Amino acid sequence: MKIIVWDIDDVLNDLTKEWFAHFCLQQNNLNNIKYANLKENPPHKLLNISEADYLKSLDDFRREFGPRINPLPDILSWFNTNGDSYFHFALTSASLFYASSSAEWLFKNYGRWFSLFSYVPSRREGDNYSYRFLSKISFLKIFNTIDAFIDDNPRNIMEADKMGIKTFLFPRPWNNSPYNSLKELLNDLNKLLI
């Protein structure tokens, strides 16, 4: 059975888009910035806030609204049609404090198809934990056979490419995905997995 590794946030859901809409409601001076203008992730410089303030805002949003974020309809539809044919595992970058929330969200929304959940640290100020894996790629290196890796971070995609893994850069404003739409990405994924 072929193995697909999925990022969670901004791949299986619209976390940044939903956080950004909430953040804009809280600010009075962001009317001219649109989600499509978030050409960097993290977007703190574009928003004229510190990275620590951005991460705190994201973590606060995740705590309050994260469990209610909906899965992306096109991805959920793909899983309903194709999910049972493959082995899926999730690999996310989350803070230690929210990794369990990410796992809960994943299994609540996609639990029928996912057998594994893992995370690598998204460090926060004051963390004093030692982590075995410092990046998604260092985690992926422990596996011999991964057929596809789907992520929205270009650096993760580039490193997985170097390992010989077939990669899919999920289209988001902050990357240069070759896909103009989610439908194109899913069509290419289907071709690979046939």
Q: State pLDDT tens for residues 39-89.
A: 999 999 999 899 999 998 998 998 899 999 999 999 999 999 999 999 999
Do 115 and 130 have their domain in common?
A: yes
Global pTM value: 0.89
Do 178 and 125 have their domain in common?
A: yes
Q: For residue 175, what pLDDT band results from cuts at 50, 70 and 90? A: very high
To the nearest 10°, report the CA torsion of 73, 68, 21, 78: -10
Q: What is the pLDDT of residues 148-160, one digit of tens each?
A: 999 999 999 999 9
Do 123 and 75 have their domain in common?
A: yes
Do 94 and 127 have their domain in common?
A: yes
Give the range of the structural domain holding residue 111, as residue numbers without chain letter. 3-12+70-193
Do 125 and 169 have their domain in common?
A: yes
Cβ atoms within 10 Å, residue 68 = 8
Q: How many folded domains does the chain comprise?
A: 2
pLDDT of residue 96: 76
Do 24 and 8 have their domain in common?
A: no
Do 59 and 95 have their domain in common?
A: no
CA distance 115 to 109: 13
Do 87 and 162 have their domain in common?
A: yes
pLDDT of residue 91: 92
Q: Would you say residue 147 has pLDDT above 70? A: yes
Provide Rg for the chain, Cα atoms.
Answer: 17
Do 52 and 117 have their domain in common?
A: no
Q: Is 81 in a helix, a strand, or coil?
A: helix
Do 123 and 51 have their domain in common?
A: no
Q: What is the pLDDT of residues 75-133, one digit of tens each?
A: 999 999 999 999 999 999 877 778 888 999 999 999 999 988 987 766 556 666 555 65
Find out whether the peptide bond into 121 is cis, omega within 30 degrees of 0: no
Q: For residue 145, what pLDDT band results from cuts at 50, 70 and 90? A: confident
pLDDT of residue 126: 65
For tokens 């697909």, the residue is 4
Q: What is the pLDDT of residues 18-30, one digit of tens each?
A: 999 999 888 866 6
Do 95 and 185 have their domain in common?
A: yes
